[in-house]
Structure 1
Amino acid sequence: MEPTNWTFLGLVCIAAAVSFLAAVLFWPRVAGRGPKHLAARTVLLGVCQLAMTTAIVLVTNKYFVFYASWSDLLDNGKSNVQVKQVQTQRGKEATPTGLVHRTTTDLGPKRRDQKHDPQKDGRVDRLQMRGPRSGLDAEAYVYLPPQYFQPQFAHKRLPVVMLLSGGPSDDKLAWIRQAHLPEDIAKTVAAGRAQPVVYVMTRSAKALTQPAQPPAGAGAGVGLPKHAAAAGVAPRPQTCLNLPGRSFGQAEDLYTQDLPEAVGDLYRVAQSRKGWAVGGFGTSGQCAVRFAMLHSDRFAAGASVNGLFDLPGPVVDGPPGGPKGDLYGRSKVFQQDNDLLWRLEHLPPPPVSLLVAAGQDSGRPAQQADRIAALTRPPLNAEKLLVPGAPADLKSWRHRLPEVLGWLAARVAPQ
C-alpha cells in the first residue's frame, strides 16, 4: 500500500490510538523505581510518540502529496527525466520554438553607405507566436535599440513599451512605416531626451486568429460560436476584452500574459511591472489604458492616442466566426465592471500612470480626455495631452508621438 492509501492511513491512525491507550493503561504498572521501570516507561513513551508522529506526518503527506509513493520517498537514485514545455490550457506538449518563431528583419534605422551594425543601428525582429494561455496566433515587431547590443548595457535589463495600432492605422507595420518609430526614437535617445527602451509593436485584437479546432481537452466547439465550430472557421476577436462563456481565444490574455512572457523569455528585458508600459492608437487606445488599469501587476503606465473609452456595443454583423450579439453575456455587472469611466468614478484607482492624448478638435476623444483627467485620484495619476487640430492616423501624429513615447519611457525603469 502506498503512503497516501486511505486503508494504510487508517491502520496507522488506529495503531497510534492503541499505543496512546496502552501508555495510559500500563503507566501505573511501571511507575515504580529502578532501571526496569525506567526502561519500561521510556519504551512506552517512545512507541507512543513514534506512532503518533508517524500518523500526523502521513496525514499531512496525504493532504499536500509531498510523496505519492514509497519509491518517491526512499529512492535516492537518479531518474532519467526529460523536462518539456507544456502549453497551458492547450493540453499539448510544445517546444519553445513551436510557440514563438523569431526572424531578423531589415526594417531598422539605416546609415547611408554604412554596413548595418546593431550596436549603432539597433535591430527590428519579427515574432510569430501562438499564445499558450489564449490559444491565439499573433504577429509582432520588436525594436531593439543600439544600447541593447552595447557592452556597457550587457548586464542591464531594458524596459519595454508595448504598442498597439488601431483605427485607420491598424496595420502590422504601422508603427514602423507610418510613425517611423525606430528612426525617431533613435534620434530622441541619441539626443539624451529619452532612455533606451525595447518597443514591441503589434496590431489590434481584430488581427488575432485562433484555430478552428479547440485545444486538446476543451471538447468540440468549446469557446467557439456554434456556426464557427460547425464551419471550421477560425474566428477573429472583435475586442480586447476577455469575453464570458469562452474557455480560450481571449485577446486580453494574449496582450497581458502571452506576449509579455514571450518577449521576456526571448530578450534581456525588465521582468517586473516597473519596467513595462503599454500604449495604443485609435481603437486600441482604450485597450492600452484597460490593460494598465486592470493589470497593474504587469504594467506601470498606459497611454491612449486618439482613443475612445465607450464600451463596445453588441456585434450585429461580425466577420465569419466572430462574436455576434451581446459581448457581455447579458450581464450588466460584467458590462459595468469593464466600463473604464465607471471604474474611475466608483472603484479604488490602481497604482498606475495614464496619458490620454487627443486632438483639440477631435470632439469626443478630447471630451473624454478631459473627463479622465478630472476623475483622477491617487494612487492613479492621469494626464491629458491635447494637440492642435484633429489628426486621425499615425502618420498625422508622427511629430507628436515622440512626446507620447517619451512620456511612456520616463515611467519605466531598467533592471
Structure 2
Amino acid sequence: MGLTSWGLLGLLVLATAACFGATVRAWPRAAATGVRAAGTRLALLLGCQLAVLLTLLVSVNGHYLFYGSWTDLAGAAGGGARVQGRGAANPRAAAVTQVVRTVRAGLGPARGGGRDPARDGQVEHLDIRGVRTGIASEAYVYLPAQYFQPAYAARRFPVVVLLAGYPAADRKVWISKGHIPRDAADATAAGRVQPMIYVMMRPTVRNGWDTECADVPGGPAVETFFAQDVPEAIATTYRTPDDRRGWGLAGYSTGGYCAAKLALLHSDRFAAAVSMAGHFEALLDPTTRALYGGSRALRRSSDLTWRLRNLPQPPVSILVASADVGEKTFPSARRFMAAARPPLVVDSVLLRTGGHNFKTFRMYIPPSLRWLSARLRAS
C-alpha cells in the first residue's frame, strides 16, 4: 500500500474511528480508581492521539507530496535507499551520457478524440545516466505539437529545464501539480509563448539528501550533472539549439535556487533562468548534511548574493518570482536583486501575498513561461 495512496489514508481514518469507538465503550470500565485503571485510560488516550496524528501526517503528505513512497521516507530518515552517485570511471562506459527514451501516453494534453502529437504535443520519459558523474536520474519531457509538424521539421526548439523543489517526492510533480504540458500547450496555441521543449526533473538524486545542486566533496557531482550531462542527454535526443541562447532553466523553492545557480555558474550553457520562491544563500541544515565538506570557501562560492557582490557578473538574465508577504525566501531574493549589475539582467514578478506552496507557485508559472519565451531563441 503506497504512502500517498487513498487506501492507506482510508485505513488510518477507519483505525482512528475504531480507536475512538473503543475508547467510548471502554471508558466506563476504566473509570475506576487505581493504577491499572489509570494506565488503561492513559493508553486509550495515547492510542487515539497517535491515530489522529498519523492520519493528519499522511493526509498532509498526500497533499504536499513531501515523500512519495516508503523508500523516500526511509531515505529521509537515513535508511539505505538504492541510489546512483558519483563513482569510479568505467573504462568501458559510453563516450556520451546514456539515455533511454519512452513515450508516456496519457500525461500530455488532449484536444480531441484520441491523441495526436502533431496537435497536442507529447510527453516522453527519459532515463539518464551521466557519463561524467555516474548519476542516474529521470526526466519527463514535453515536446510541443510543432515538434511533430512538417512545417517545423528543420526547427531546433529552445529548451527549458524545470527543476522541482526538495524533496519533490512525486516525480511527475511538474505535470500533476505544475500542469506544464497543458499550460505550455495552451500558451503556445494562443501565441503567448513560442514552441519550446520542457524538461521536467527534480534535483534530488539521493533520497533524503538536499544537495542544493552542488558538486559535493566526496559525493555526487550534481552541479556537473545538470550543467553538462543533462544538456548533453537532451541535445543528443531532440532537435535543440547549438548555442546557449536557446537554453534556459526554471524552478521553484530549492529548484529555483538551482536554476539561478546553474545559470550564474554556467553562462556558457544557459542564457536565462527563473527562480520561483527560491532562496539565494548557501543553506546548511540537517537536510543538506555536511554539504560543503567543512569548506567555508566552497560554501561562500555557492552563496549567489555573495557572488554578485564579489565576482564578475555573467551575461545572463534572471527572473525572480516571489511575494512581499508570506514568502519566507523573499528577504534573500531582495538582497540578491539589490546586488545585481550589468551584464547580469534581473527582472521580477512580485505578488503582494503568497505562501511557500504550490497554490502560489502555480501563479508564477504563466508569467515565467512568457518571460523565458521572450529571451530564448530557436535555431
TM category (shorter chain) comes to: 0.7 to 0.9
TM-score when normalising by structure 1 = 0.66
How many angstroms does 1:410 deviate by? 1.5
Q: Which moved more, 1:89-98 or 1:175-184?
A: 89-98
Corresponding residue for residue 241 of structure 1: 214
1:255 Cα deviation after fit? 0.6
Q: Is the 8 A contact 1:179 1:398 kept in 2?
A: yes
3-state DSSP of counterpart to 1:90? coil
Distance (whole Å) between structure 1 residues aligned to residue 248 and residue 361 of structure 2:
20
Aligned-residue CA RMSD (Å): 2.4
1:363 Cα deviation after fit = 4.4
Residue 98 and residue 353 in structure 1: after superposition, are their counterparts in 2 closer, same or farther (change >3 A)?
Answer: closer
For 2:241, give the aligned amino acid. A
Matches of 2:268 and 2:96 in 1, distance apart?
Answer: 27
Is 2:342 the counterpart of 1:385?
Answer: no
Please name the residue that 2:77 is paired with: none
Match of 1:368 in 2: 332
Contact 1:108–1:143 under 8 Å retained in 2:
yes
Matching of residue 342 in structure 1 with residue 306 in structure 2: yes
The residue number in structure 2 matching 1:410 is 374
Within 1, Cα distance between the matches of 2:331 and 2:285? 24
Cα deviation, residue 371, structure 1: 2.1
| CA 1:300–1:97: 2 relative to 1, 3 Å | closer
1:338 maps to amino acid: S
- 1:67-78 to structure 2, matched below 5 A, reads none
Aligned CA distance change for structure 1 residues 135 and 170 (closer, same or farther; 3 Å): same
Query: Equivalences for 1:103-142 in 2 at 5 Å?
Result: 103-106=102-105, 107-112=107-112, 114-142=113-141
Paired AA for residue 343 in structure 1 = R
Q: CA deviation at 1:377?
A: 0.8
* Aligned counterparts of 2:166 and 2:95: Cα–Cα separation in 1: 33
What pairs with 1:280-319 in structure 2 (closer than 5 Å)?
280-313=251-284, 315=286
Cα distance 1:407–1:127, how it changes in 2: closer, same or farther (>3 A)?
Answer: same
Match of 1:333 among 297, 304, 308: 297
Whether the 8 Å CA contact 1:144–1:199 is kept in 2: the answer is yes
Matches of 1:342 and 1:399, distance apart in 2: 29
Amino acid at match of 2:356: A
What letter is aligned with 1:340?
L
**C-alpha contact (below 8 Å) 1:171/1:203 kept by paired residues:** no
Runs of 4+ aligned structure 1 residues displaced above 6 Å come to none
Partner-residue secondary structure (3-state), 2:298: helix
Larger radius of gyration: 1
Q: Give, as a single letter, the amino acid of the residue that structure 1 aligns with 2:193.
A: A
Does residue 397 (structure 1) correspond to residue 361 (structure 2)? The answer is: yes
Which residue does the alignment assign to 2:250?
Answer: 279
- Residues 379 and 368 (structure 1 numbering): CA distance in 2 closer, same or farther, change over 3 Å? same
Q: For 1:168 and 1:389, how far apart are their aligned partners in 2?
A: 24
Change (3 A) 1:167 1:237: closer
Aligned pairs (5 A) from 1:6-405: 90-94=89-93, 99-106=98-105, 107-112=107-112, 114-167=113-166, 171-204=170-203, 206=204, 208-209=205-206, 238-244=211-217, 246=218, 249-313=220-284, 315=286, 324-325=289-290, 327-405=291-369
| Structure 2 counterpart of 1:310, one-letter code | E
Relative to structure 1, the CA distance from residue 153 to residue 140 in structure 2 (aligned partners, 3 Å threshold; closer, same or farther) is same
**Residues 168 and 395 (structure 1 numbering): CA distance in 2 closer, same or farther, change over 3 Å?**
farther
1:91-138 Cα shifts (integer Å, max 9, x gaps): 2324589921111012111124x1211110100000112111111110
The two structures have a TM-score, normalised by structure 2, of 0.72
Which one-letter code corresponds to 1:125 in the other structure?
E
Mapped partners of 1:235, 1:168: distance in 2: 7
- In the TM superposition, what whole-angstrom CA distance separates every residue of 1:176-229 from its partner, at most 9, and x where no partner exists? 11111111111111111110100000012x2x14xxxxxxxxxxxxxxxxxxxx
Q: Tell me the secondary structure at the aligned position of residue 375 of structure 2.
A: coil
> Where does the alignment leave 5 or more consecutive residues of structure 2 unmatched?
1-85
Amino acid at match of 1:298: R
Q: Secondary structure of 1:410's partner? A: helix
Pair 1:168–1:257, CA change in 2 (3 A): closer
* Counterpart AA for 1:130: R
Counterpart of 2:198 in 1: which secondary structure? Answer: strand
Aligned residues: 293
Contact 2:251–2:275 under 8 Å retained in 1: yes
Percent identity between matched residues is: 41
Please report how far the alpha carbon of residue 153 of structure 1 lies from its aligned counterpart in structure 2 after TM superposition.
Answer: 0.9
Q: Is the 8 A contact 1:174 1:394 kept in 2?
A: no
Q: Kindly tell me: are residues 275 and 155 of structure 1, through their superposed partners in 2, closer, same or farther at Cα, counting changes over 3 Å?
A: same
Deviation of 1:249 after TM superposition, in Å, equals: 2.3
